[in-house]
Amino acid sequence: MKGLFSLGKKSSAFDEADDIVGDDEYVELDTSSSREREQKVVVRPFVIEDFSDVKEILDALRQSYTIVLINIKPLKERDLLELKRAINKLKKTCQAIDGDIAGFGEDYIVITPSFAEIYRGDAISSTDDI
């Protein structure tokens, strides 16, 4: 039992690394590498109150790393015909960027770019219902 916690034996990876590098040596890291920093995915919420609000959403979707959450309730309560027009415009752009679109609850739509897929279980309905 005494030998288990003995300082005489090297038991960690840090101790082994000291043997390889040595006490007086250091490792130089290349910070000027050409490795590009990966872009982060942005989740942006929007509210559609008018058909003209669709333009800003479409611009965000065309920036390939944006997932869009859209609250359609204000337009839904005001003008269903204009809402359908807006959703059709969003669907066309979604197809053009090879994205995915789905209704989320009664008042929300989710649109993702091509690298993401929307899970369609019992809780998520299709935009065809809208």
Q: What is the CATH number of the domain that holds 114?
A: 3.30.110.150
What is the extent of the structural domain holding 124? 42-129
Nearest to 51 by CA among 27, 70, 68, 75: 75
Answer yes or no: is 21 within a domain.
no
Answer yes or no: is 105 within a domain.
yes
Model pTM above 0.85: no
Answer yes or no: is 18 within a domain.
no
Answer yes or no: is 12 within a domain.
no
pLDDT tens digits, one per residue of 7-42:
554 544 445 444 555 556 777 766 665 445 567 899
Answer yes or no: is 5 within a domain.
no
- If one counts the domains in the chain, the total is 1
Answer yes or no: is 33 within a domain.
no
What is the edge-to-edge ordering of all strands in the sheet holding 108-112? 42-47, 66-71, 108-112, 100-104, 124-125
Answer yes or no: is 9 within a domain.
no
